Chains A and B, each alone.
Chain A
């Protein structure tokens, strides 16, 4: 089931898959080497470098020591992140089989092809609707749950979907959205409930109607991620000092005013962190669409398209171009996120 668990990765990384590691040779031995060998290697490396430094002149050793100590991390970073990114960028300027250079033709394709534009539009739709709705619901539940006795239970229930994989959630929701013609017994929860509640209701094929299918998919994403937003925001709310709230009450502020002028400003950094995390997640959204519609009827998103170009069509050029665009789109959000994290650290 490799494809189902496939994490979306820059196309260039395909060259980094370790050659020929056949798992049928004694796996335990390999495991032992990995578990014991890697730490031993590191200890050996540090000991050796310290010994070398001991011999070197005292004055210069501190700066040289720094280089020695950060070298392993830097090398790993270069091998596993920098090199694949550079390879991907190079591949994105080559043809389908990565032979000749084609300049920016792949990028031109991504930004002019009608199907690709539709894909970009869908990602935008996901970005706006998913992020706003998840944040709103997460905040609402965090605020409401804060005031009740059974808070832990309520929060656990909302958080539960986070424990399921996207694929499982996709399959569950496929059943939820199931369609049977009017008159036949409705086995899909959504249509069954609506038929029971609304007289004369016509069952809808939610996933196969271009007016509803993107929304139907986004709902699944919101259902899964609201719990995440809620947990982080709830922690943020708990972090607001009670004396500030009490001071506001004494000054005669009502609950809405407290929320608007005290809670919200103090919660802003947390909201930003949650929002940026959600944006990064939504830009990579893949599994839900793959399982539920496979991008049919105008539901395709960037990651699905990249997967198809890469693994089905073997067009490494286009797949890499899409990967690069995705990377570039995520970078500003990343920077914002890291900045916020640093500020959060400084506050605490």
Chain B
């Protein structure tokens, strides 16, 4: 009897332990998704605000993990069989790669496709598709290749404000006037950590697009145009008219290469101004307003489109946008992706960061100021939209392109060998 009692006690203890273990295993909240992205600072605040509205509505928790080296982290996690539920990418290049490897969830099974077709321009659907299947939803778009200036400074110097539709020659003429005053016309800065040089690729892309049109532009990012072709060289040399001339760009090569893109517009706002023009995407507005809190859009800083080169392609516009992809199609992911595609979610980015909505129904009223509103309507009305070419290239091509810009700025006379090196990378990457 005594022995039996003891073993009963022991059994009971085992059962209790087992239940405890079981409870611990299943105690975790059931509804939750993991999101991997690059956002930090203000962008992360906006993302969190957007997710909070989602959690309040659906009860699904969003676990965000941020990294500045998204490409490497995603690669590692996908290879390890442990991808996040959803990832926010910075361009379609990575999406295409993952989709081709069969790692992404087909969004046509996840989204309400009728609503999607109604709310999104065909262009965004095409950009988010691989082999006819939709994998990515774009949000927080930016118009690239805008030329920023300080209207007050220009007026004080007796210069005319540039107007939309201005040409490259108009720009050179205006620059010559500024040089005659003993000033430098342009402020350029291309430093950006492990992505240094991308600002220069934006320059070359915008020039190439306006010299050769959207079809050749597409061939280029698909690896079908030789880097040593005369068209390519001409685009680089046109870029060189700005960056290879210390009289054209403030501080010369050393300043261009060592100045972070986020601070690069600063010479426009110094007293006295050190430069008058700055080329950057629509998102630079938030950088300017952070650095110079008293600067007011339209009166203190304003933008015009990139100067046109070949009049045939003057209506072309380059854009970039972050996009969401899903690695699984669980019910939670489904809810999240439908939310991301909604105008409601995109309005958070519009209001918080001045990021332009890709959903047509993001009302212009959400945009924080007249300038962002103008960029948004520009995006809605433009005729030829192309995506940032370097973001569409294979990663090794993109990386080499970034580095090549840094080398070119450092020593423009090396252009031929720089292009030959890029051509070698292209042949290697697209064979």
Contacts and interface: CB of A to CB of B under 8 A. Distances in A.
A155 B93 CA distance: 51
B254 A179 contact: yes
**A-B pairs with the 6 shortest C-beta distances?**
A3-B69, A205-B254, A311-B72, A181-B251, A208-B257, A313-B396
B410 interface: yes
Nearest to B406: A296
Contacts of B251: 180-181, 184
Nearest to A179: B258
A174 B421 CA distance: 28
10 contacts: A1-B69, A4-B68, A14-B79, A19-B80, A26-B25, A181-B251, A203-B254, A205-B258, A296-B407, A313-B399
Contacts of A297: 257, 406-407, 410
Secondary structure class of chain A's binding surface, majority of residues: loop
A17 B76 contact: yes
Contacts of B76: 2, 14, 17, 311
Interface in B148-201: 193-194, 196-197
A204 B254 contact: yes
Given A20-B81, A313-B399, A2 B258 contact: no
B421 A115 contact: yes
B69 A29 contact: no
A204 B403 CA distance: 20
A204 B85 CA distance: 47
Given A17-B76, A17-B79, A19-B81, A312 B71 contact: yes
A267 B193 CA distance: 42
A178 interface: yes
A294 B79 CA distance: 24
Contact of A29 (B25, B82, B193, B255): B25
A242 interface: no
A47 interface: no
A207 interface: yes
Contacts of A293: 196
B412 to A, nearest CB: 14
Interface in A1-17: 1-4, 6, 14, 17
Contacts of A28: 24
B63 interface: yes
A290 to B, nearest CB: 7
A188 to B, nearest CB: 9
A209 interface: yes
Interface residues of B, number: 45
Contact of B73 (A2, A21, A207): A2
Nearest to A26: B24
Given A180-B251, A294-B194, 20 more contacts: A2-B76, A17-B79, A17-B80, A20-B81, A21-B82, A25-B25, A26-B24, A180-B255, A181-B251, A203-B254, A205-B255, A207-B258, A208-B258, A294-B196, A296-B196, A297-B257, A297-B406, A308-B396, A312-B71, A313-B395
A308 B197 CA distance: 16
A321 to B, nearest CB: 15
A24 B28 contact: yes
Please indicate which of the listed interface residues B75, B254, B255, B395 has the most CB atoms of chain A within 10 Å of its own CB.
B254
Interface of B: 21, 24-25, 27-28, 32, 34, 63, 67-69, 71-73, 75-76, 79-82, 97, 193-194, 196-197, 250-255, 257-258, 274, 394-396, 399, 403, 406-407, 410-411, 421, 429
| Range class of the A interface residue count | 35 or more
A2 B79 contact: no
A168 B80 CA distance: 29
Given A29-B21, A208-B257, A208-B410, A312 B399 contact: yes
Interface string A9-43: 00000100111111011101100000000000000
A74 interface: no
A210 interface: yes
A295 interface: yes
B187 to A, nearest CB: 11
A51 to B, nearest CB: 24
Contacts of B82: 19-22
A106 interface: no
A6 B21 CA distance: 34
A179 B27 contact: no
Contacts of B274: 184
Interface string A32-75: 00000000000000000000000000000000000000000000
Contact of A314 (B21, B193, B395): B395
Contacts of A19: 80-82
A26 B79 contact: no
A26 B20 CA distance: 12
A315 interface: yes
Contacts of B75: 311, 314
Contacts of A26: 24-25, 27-28
A114 interface: yes
B32 A24 contact: yes
A17 to B, nearest CB: 4
A93 B112 CA distance: 47
Contacts of B67: 1-3
B68 A3 contact: yes
Please indicate which of the listed interface residues A14, A114, A297, A313 has the most CB atoms of chain B within 10 Å of its own CB.
A313
A8 to B, nearest CB: 13
A3 B73 contact: yes
A78 to B, nearest CB: 21
Interface string A200-214: 000111011110000
Contacts of A14: 76, 79-80
Contacts of A203: 254
B79 A181 contact: no
Nearest to B184: A181
B396 A315 contact: yes
B194 A290 contact: yes
A80 to B, nearest CB: 16
Given A26-B28, A311-B75, A208 B68 contact: no
A335 B394 CA distance: 41
A49 to B, nearest CB: 27
A115 B396 CA distance: 13
Contacts of B79: 14, 17
Nearest to A308: B399
